[in-house]
Amino acid sequence: MRVTIADDSVLFREGLARLLEGAGFEVIGRAGNGTQLLDLVDADPPDIVITDIRMPPTNTTEGLQTAATIRERHPSVAVLLLSQYVETTHALRLLERGADRIGYLLKDRVSDVHDFVETVRRVASGGSAIDPEVVAQLVVRRRHRDLVGDLTEREREVLKLMAEGRSNSAIGDALSLSPKTVEGHVHSIFQKLQLEPADEDHRRVLAVLTYLRA
């Protein structure tokens, strides 16, 4: 199997390349950033790309964004994200295109070299491999998004104004609603977001946090 590796750490990149070559893989490319990785894959598509998420120039999500671009341009190329971080927003978008030929492992949780090599083979062959910690955070992210999606358009407007720190009175003025109607929307929002009965201010904060996460 032919592999292209991307990581801004030279020592990690070269160490991973030697590990894979020792296991019978052919490492055909090494990149230190997303631009280099995309150029390598465009010029000679491998069977699988192994990339970190955070790479230069901003060290945020260049690797993940490059992985999404590779999936669009080269659907047959498998992608294994190997990172220290869980990044849910772009990961969800990547996985929504299909989980085949996709892997997402956390570096610190890879404890067995043989298992890792077999995971690379499985992903390259069309399978998938997602670290349980990544799955847990993606499920939480999906749950928050789905709950907010259950709100009506008016309830989302009310919640947006709540997120801006406005009181019920100010929300009523902004949306031309009576105080009683605003209270009804707020109560409905609490119910749909599955917020347990508690202090009003506490539930408002939790509702806003759910909205922002979604």
pLDDT, tens digit, 9 for 90 and up, residues 48-72: 999 999 888 888 888 888 998 999 9
Q: Are residues 190 and 181 in contact, defined by beta-carbon separation less than 8 angstroms?
A: no
Q: Are residues 60 and 66 in contact, defined by beta-carbon separation less than 8 angstroms?
A: no
CATH code of domain 2-131:
3.40.50.2300
What percentage of the chain exceeds 90 in pLDDT?
48
Is the C-alpha dihedral spanning 96, 101, 106, 112 positive or negative? Answer: positive
d(CA 4, CA 45): 8
List Cβ neighbours of 54 (8 Å cut-off, separation of 6 or more): 8, 60, 61, 62, 63, 83, 84, 85
What percentage of the chain exceeds 70 in pLDDT?
86
Fold agreement between 2-131 and 150-213 = no
For 30-44, what is each residue's pLDDT tens digit?
Answer: 999 999 999 999 999
Q: Is the pLDDT of residue 76 over 70?
A: yes
CATH code of domain 150-213:
1.10.10.10
Higher pLDDT, 214 or 22: 22
pTM of the model: 0.67
Q: Is the pLDDT of residue 160 over 80?
A: yes
Q: In the chain, where are the structural domains located?
A: 2-131, 150-213
Higher pLDDT, 9 or 109: 9
The predicted pLDDT at position 40 comes to: 97
Helix ranges (H only) for 44-167 are 62-73, 88-95, 113-124, 132-149, 153-163
